[in-house]
Amino acid sequence: MGVLIIRRNMNGEVLPAIALAVGVPFFGIYPAYLFRKGRLSLESLLVYLAFTAWAVMVALGAILDNGFLLIGSFVVMLLTAGLAIAFRREMLRDAYSVEISPDEPLRLRWLVALNPSFWIWLAYRYGTTLAAILNVLTTYLIVIGTLALLNHLIGGTFPLKSFAVLYAVIMVFQFRGVYRRLYEKTRIE
Q: Which DSSP string do the residues of 27-61 spell out, in sequence order? A: IIIHHHHHHHTTSS-HHHHHHHHHHHHHHHHHHHH
Under 8 Å between Cβ of 135 and 171 = no
Q: What is the predicted pLDDT for the residue at 169? A: 93
Strands (E), 39-166: none
Q: What is the predicted pLDDT for the residue at 11? A: 59
pTM to 2 decimal places: 0.74
Q: 106: helix, coil or strand?
A: coil
Q: What is the predicted pLDDT for the residue at 59? A: 87
By C-alpha distance, which of 183, 49, 110 is closest to 40? 49
Digits of tens for pLDDT over the chain (189 positions)?
A: 334 344 444 556 777 888 788 888 888 898 999 899 888 899 999 999 999 999 899 888 888 888 899 899 999 999 999 999 999 999 988 888 888 888 999 998 888 787 889 999 999 999 999 999 999 999 999 889 888 887 887 777 888 889 999 999 999 999 999 999 999 999 998
Checking phi first, is residue 107 left (phi over 0); if not, alpha (psi -120 to 50) or beta? beta
